[in-house]
């Protein structure tokens, strides 16, 4: 595996991990998560708002 591919995969992992932490923190504080973070995690922001549990 070349260095560039490894770097992109590592950065992608950290991007997803950061989005998960940010979304979890927002819901923990009873706020709506950022739609960009939800999209990065594969969650439709409109459907997430329909849950009404945060």
Q: pLDDT tens digits for the chain (54 residues)? A: 577 888 999 999 999 999 999 999 999 999 999 999 999 999 999 999 888 765
The pLDDT score that the predictor gives to residue 4 is 86
Count of CB atoms situated within 10 Å of the CB of 27? 15
Share of the chain residues as helix, strand and coil, in percent rounded to the nearest 5: 70, 0, 30
Query: Whole-prediction pTM value?
Result: 0.80
Show Cβ contacts of residue 32 under 8 Å, excluding neighbours closer than 6 positions: 26, 48, 49, 54
């Amino acid at each position: 595996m070349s260095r560039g591919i490894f770097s992109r995969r590592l950065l992608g992992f950290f991007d997803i991990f950061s989005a998960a932490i940010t979304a979890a923190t927002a819901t923990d504080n009873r706020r709506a998560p950022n739609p960009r973070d939800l999209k990065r995690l594969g969650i439709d922001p409109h459907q997430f708002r329909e849950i009404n549990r945060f």
